Amino acid sequence: MKKQMLLLMMVVLLMGSVLAGCGNTDETGGAESGDAKTINFLHWRGEDTEAFNAIIEKFEEENPDINVEMNALPSDSYIANASATLLSGKGADVFASFPGSQFEALQESGAYVELGDQAFIDRFSENMLGAGQKDGKQLAVPYQLVYNIPVYNKGVFDELGIEPPKDWDGFLEVSQTLKDNGYDPILFAGDVSPSQFINPMVMNNQPSDEAFAKLETGDEKLTNDWFVKTLSQIKELNDKGYFQKDPLGTKKEGAAALFAQEKGAMLALGSYMMATVAEQNPDIEQGLLSPITVSEDEMKYEGIHTSTFMLGVNSKSEHQKEALKFIEFLTKPEIASEYANATGQLLTVKDVEYDSPELTETAAWLDKKTLFQPRYTLSKEQVSKAIETAIQDVLSGVEPEEAAKKAQEEVDRAIK
């Protein structure tokens, strides 16, 4: 009996120590070696790990009293996994966040330290900082810049002697020419394009940076003319066969593969696909264009941009000074250039030197009149999803008015 009890006690103690070991990871994760302090950098760009590691090495050389531990989570479940870490204050001193509803939710919970008085703010293009502001406070700095407008094959356009169109009639004409010459004019990815293509389609039909945001206050409705017109134009493109076969069944990877194989001329995604396409087909010459849905003289915006990968410092961090130092380092033009060229990302930081044709092409859009992605002005994801679903409905054969009505009902439920 004594032996039995002893054995049991040992089992219980062993289990206890295993559980205790599990619970101790945070403490060891944030442990300091010697006098050096360790800060944690949390983001979702696993593909940039190598580039960040090289930069972190340089940072640690320059700041021997600070160690940086990086943790990259999958982007689609980023907030799901990161929220507990952020709230605990351990495991994320510097963190990246998406603009829009995710930023809203995090700022509501007081996750950010205000960055407005930091000197590195001056290194950013001023018009790119808005996504990280709330009530006049700069809570996060958007590091990356993407253009959410179609990528086009310059070689195909040159071969057919066509130019990027400047109005809606021109867009239809170019699409017809491409179709007549055996190309799929627009490659549409059913899983991603609805949330991307809607932005340039709507930017001149309702040329306001608050068009979508007003949906949440009830000042705009999806049943209004501008949205029904946008859906009707998407239907027109679909009815005329300007999208490839079965756009809703085609995934992002499939659409990108068709574009890289030069079977289609426009890819309805964004500048962030250019590096991927260039990897698949190094000979392809890519550019960016927008579908202008009005006449040339009515056009207000030339394209859509999104400043994202918003870097912030955790308000619960015990190492805020060191975390700010790390962001300051990342925003140095020479470090930002290194990151941009290693990862193929366009950045919001000024004076960055790009060395690839895709980045050079994209950087040219910095001087154009572009609108911040309307979808990211929404704080409620249900509203964004209602808009996306309306497009999927239209591509499934639902009439634009009916799809708009259904979407507005969903918006009404979300803002109730």
Partner 1 sequence: MQSNNNVERVGGARVASPYVASTAKKRKKKWNWALFFFVLPGFIIYSVFFAGPTVAALFLSFTDWNGIAPTFNYVGFSNYTNMLTDDPIFVQSLGNNLKFTLGVLIFQTVLSLFFAMLLVKNTKANIFYRAVYFFPTIVASVSVAFVWTFMYDPNIGVINNILSAVGLESLAKSWLGDRNIAIYSLAFVQFWAHTGQMLIIFVAGLHAIPKELYEAAEIEGASKWQTFKSITWPLLAPSATIVVAYTTIQSFKAFDLVIAMTGGGPSYATEILSTFLYHEAFINFRFGYASAAAVIFMIIIAIVTVLQFRLLKSNDVKF
What is the binding site for partner 1 (CB under 8 A)? 1, 4-5, 8-9, 11-12, 15, 19, 76-77, 79-80, 83, 86-87, 101, 105-106, 108-111, 190-191, 244-251, 253-254, 257-258, 380-382, 385, 389, 392-393, 395-396, 410, 413
The nearest distance, CB 397 to partner 1, in angstroms, is 9
The nearest distance, CB 78 to partner 1, in angstroms, is 9
Q: Which residues contact 34 (CB under 8 A, 6 or more apart)?
A: none
**Of 5 and 119, which has the nearer Cβ to partner 1?**
5
User: ∠16-21-22 over CA atoms, to 5°?
Assistant: 100
**112: which 2 tokens?**
């950010």
DSSP-based three-state secondary structure for 181: coil
**Of 58 and 316, which has the nearer Cβ to partner 1?**
316
The nearest distance, CB 379 to partner 1, in angstroms, is 9
The nearest distance, CB 335 to partner 1, in angstroms, is 31
**Of 213 and 294, which has the nearer Cβ to partner 1?**
213
DSSP 135: T
Please name the residue that has the structure tokens 């502001």.
Answer: 133
The nearest distance, CB 130 to partner 1, in angstroms, is 22
**Of 164 and 247, which has the nearer Cβ to partner 1?**
247
- Tell which residue, 1, 87, 2, 94, has the closest CA to residue 313: 94
DSSP code per residue over 91-131 = S-SEEEE-STHHHHHHHHTT-BPP-TT-GGGGGB-GGG-GG
What is the Cα–Cα distance from 260 to 253, expressed in whole angstroms? 10
Number of H helices, E strands in the chain: 17, 13
User: What residues form DSSP beta bridges with 370?
Assistant: 303
Taking the CA atoms of 221, 224, 227 and 232 in sequence, report the sign of the dihedral they define: positive
Q: Which residues contact 363 (CB under 8 A, 6 or more apart)?
A: 346, 354
**19: which 2 tokens?**
């559980």
The nearest distance, CB 356 to partner 1, in angstroms, is 27
What is the Cα–Cα distance from 25 to 266, expressed in whole angstroms? 48
User: ∠381-344-171 over CA atoms, to 5°?
Assistant: 65
**Of 10 and 31, which has the nearer Cβ to partner 1?**
10
**Of 90 and 325, which has the nearer Cβ to partner 1?**
90
**Of 338 and 381, which has the nearer Cβ to partner 1?**
381
**Of 267 and 335, which has the nearer Cβ to partner 1?**
267
Q: Is residue 349 a contact partner of residue 331, using CB atoms and an 8 Å limit?
A: yes
The nearest distance, CB 297 to partner 1, in angstroms, is 36
Residues 358, 364, 366, 367, Cα dihedral to 10°: -170
The nearest distance, CB 4 to partner 1, in angstroms, is 6
What is the Cα–Cα distance from 124 to 144, expressed in whole angstroms? 11
**Of 104 and 285, which has the nearer Cβ to partner 1?**
104
The nearest distance, CB 80 to partner 1, in angstroms, is 4
The nearest distance, CB 189 to partner 1, in angstroms, is 11
**Of 52 and 112, which has the nearer Cβ to partner 1?**
112
Write the CA distances from 117 to 88, 138, 381, 383, 388, integer angstroms: 26, 9, 31, 34, 38
